Structure 1
Amino acid sequence: MLSDVLGLTPEEAENYHTLISVASATPAELAELVGCDARQVVRVLGILEDRGLAARSLGDTTRFVASPPAAALRAVLVQRQNELKLAELELDSLDEIYRAATLGRGVADVVDVIHGSEAIRERVGRIQLGARKEVMNFVKAPFFSPGNMTDDAVIARGVRYRVILERAMLDEGAPSFGEIAQAQAAGEEVRAADTVPLKLFIVDREFAIVPLIGSANAAKSGALVVHESSLLDALIALFESEWEKATQFVTSAGTLGNAPAIDDLDAQILSLSLTGLTDQAIATQLRTSLRTVQRRIRHLMDAAKVQNRLQLGFHAARLGWLEAEQDGNTRV
């Protein structure tokens, strides 16, 4: 931690950690405790002394003592905090300059082109890490990059992340229902649609990335970066329209009034059924048997007193079976 936060090398951090654990030590004694050459320790102690982290003992100048961590390191932390504040101010200034420049963009500057799958992966990763408020994402096979649909660090910062999956991907088990549940538990909002019109990332409603060709043809992979314009407005409107129509995923049972109780597996089966998955695909996603899925759906229809699955979906909403509980970290 010291090496990361305070700029010490691993060797310097180890020597300082060891020195604060003893009353005092000569370079030879410290070298024995650390397990390295005494000449290296002499060099490191000189660095620590210069940085105010170590000092020579008043009673014996051949011995070294560690400076109190609270006093020695607090100044370094304050300096780092000040550097971060200055960096934030500089970032705000650069952002203002960028925004002013975008106002003067001509037609030719509205759309940039990215060439190559590696460049797409790098740009998508960078814009996700830089998101401040929201990321909107259409997910459509084939993937143009490996890994998760989202970056957990982005969600952890409080950035809203909304994803619409194409149903064909669920049929193929990628992502799995378990991965979707895990993503939702982390704070991601995931819905499913029969089809999504294109692959799309929209960040902070300020720009979008539209991958054009997937990894199946990596040599010709490309993407468009769309800046603030009426075209970006249209992409945002398209996403919002698809979001309203898409089916939410429910991973746990809800209750409403005196509605008949259902368990989590019932809720998961019903949720996947409403996305249009076949019974066999549902069984595969939930790692259960086809017979179990069919038996559970029949039970739900009997409980709701309906004759078909279309009616079941309507009554499930009315009875509150898919009213997933929400907390501060989960959105569905």
Structure 2
Amino acid sequence: MQRIGDSTTTANGAKEFTQGQPGSGIDSTVITPEWLNAIQRELVNLVLGAGLTITPGDDSQVLKAVQALQALANTWAKLTGKPSTIAGYGITDTFTKTETSAAIQSAISALVGSSPAALDTLNELAAALGNDPNFATTMTNALAGKAAKATTLAGYGINDAYPKASTYSQAEITALLAAITDRLAQATESVPGLARVASQAQVDAGSDDTAVLTSKKLRSARATCSAWVSWNGTGTVAVRDSFNVSSITDNGVGDFTINFAAPLANPNYSFCYSVGGISNSINISSGGSAAPTVSALRVTSVSAAGMGTGANFVMTDFPYNSVQIFGGK
């Protein structure tokens, strides 16, 4: 749909028709083919959308289309958003399936005194009592022969346990712990038992398969990477992924400082810096002019288009940069 003002400049400010004022230079609104075609398409689409066929000479087809669409909208099958529950229709004087089932179950439970399912018939009750017609007498006689309840270890004749109120010597405590330990085997992947925490030396050696490894010792292990990072050095530095690296400082073309999230224990670490993504003959990456520290590492990268001399190498930003650091622990 469009207003007449969408297809001609002779409409008024509201994009509506105007009769114009020839004496003052205001033209009357020109009816354009574009606007007439838009109106025709709107009316044709209304008729076709109602399922009718365009019939020349029938001037009531728009009315018929509106009536057909109204009739279609009132068809129950065409209504959307219909509720699927009694409550959805606002009906309050009927029982739902859930309420009906609950009412029936409540009546049954009241009949059997809320007995469990295994005891809700006379036959089940009789079987549970051993079909003994004198069950009360049988139980009374059995209870009469029961020993009196004791409240101490001595009362039960137990002499191989530790009384709660007693005081124990270090030797007794050691013996108790040893006895418990003897009953438990070393824990493995398939056998539960005692778990022993590995020392840092055992973690570094990597030869003990029985001791438990803690997260702190894992991070401090000499065989693991202390920090690593992958980044795009062209334009604004963009870190792709990293570990123990908080940020990268761009010091200039081909010159970066890797800042550690957690400082290393010492600056005597080993590092590897590699670059890629440029098709020059020689690309070189190395440590920067500053010495490594426990909180940062400076690196540089250069590139040369041919073998040439040293003068061919220029500081270069590479799209693919990676640094791995070992040691410093």
TM category (shorter chain) comes to under 0.3
Q: Which has the higher contact order (CA 8 A, sep 6+)?
A: 1
Normalising by structure 2, what TM-score? 0.21
Larger Rg: 2
More helix by share: 1
